[in-house]
Amino acid sequence: MIIDLHIHTNLGSICSQLGPAELLDRARELGIDAICVTEHHSHRGAHKMVEFARGSGYPVFRGVEIYTELGDMLVYGMKRDTRYHLTTFEELLEMAEEDGAVIVPAHPCRGWGRQHKHAHNFPRELLGHVVAIETLNGANTVRSNEKALALAEEYGLPGTGGSDAHAIWQVGKCVTVFEREIAGEEELVEELRAGRFYAAYLEDLRAQGG
């Protein structure tokens, strides 16, 4: 099952130009089986997207992207919102454990190889507290994704893929391929925790006939 696990819409992210109707149309056009909406710090936009898609027969899951001092974290299965730019990783971990949620560091190597304030590497203190690393991010350079892939291999963690889409042309560039069909958010969390998935560029899957 192919899922884009990292999408921002204009329903909940002021930085996104992506509307709900065009998102659904594009995801279907690309042959993606489901999408996960991950707005910043709040599930409100994702809730709206789920309601919008209700009755369409197309699966929409909810996640959230949360800024911490150790980087941006994609969280799946969280049952609450957080304060914007005021959450420490320790606070997030406590909330995630209480909610039965899982954490995946987003674009951990964004800017790698360039000397600027946004360049960062994977914080080693995250080990043991995350279920995967986002190894393929559609808004990253190939070099940054390659670094994230190397980190995942070094630390024995599986990799997820997501477009990090903020506009229609970005949807589905990177995806996560799950071994099993996923019908709901609890199953999504279960499969992420089990590690039964891998990250891919959608164009590579198409070239392979996937």
Per-residue pLDDT of 48-72, as tens digits, reads 999 999 989 999 999 999 999 999 9
Q: Give the least confident one: 19-23, 80-84, 126-130.
A: 80-84
Domain with 183 in it: 2-207
Beta-carbon count within 10 A of 21 CB: 9
| pLDDT at residue 196 tops 50 | yes
For residue 184, pLDDT over 90 is answered with: yes
Domain with residue 120: its CATH number is 3.20.20.140
Task: Answer whether residue 4 shows pLDDT above 70.
Answer: yes
Residue-wise pLDDT for 90-112, tens only, equals: 999 999 999 999 999 999 988 75
Residue 85 has pLDDT above 70, yes or no: no
Residue with tokens 């149309």: 25
**How much is the mean pLDDT over the chain?**
92
Tell me which H or E stretch contains 204.
helix 202-207
**Phi/psi at 29 (5° precision):** -60, -35
Report the share of the chain in percent with pLDDT over 90. Answer: 81
For the residues 117-129, what does the mean pLDDT come to? 73
pLDDT at 200 over 60: yes
Structural domains of the chain, count:
1
pLDDT of residue 123: 83
Question: What is the DSSP code string of 6-44?
Answer: EE--TTT-TT----HHHHHHHHHHHT-SEEEEEEES-SH
Per-residue pLDDT, averaged over 182-207, amounts to 97
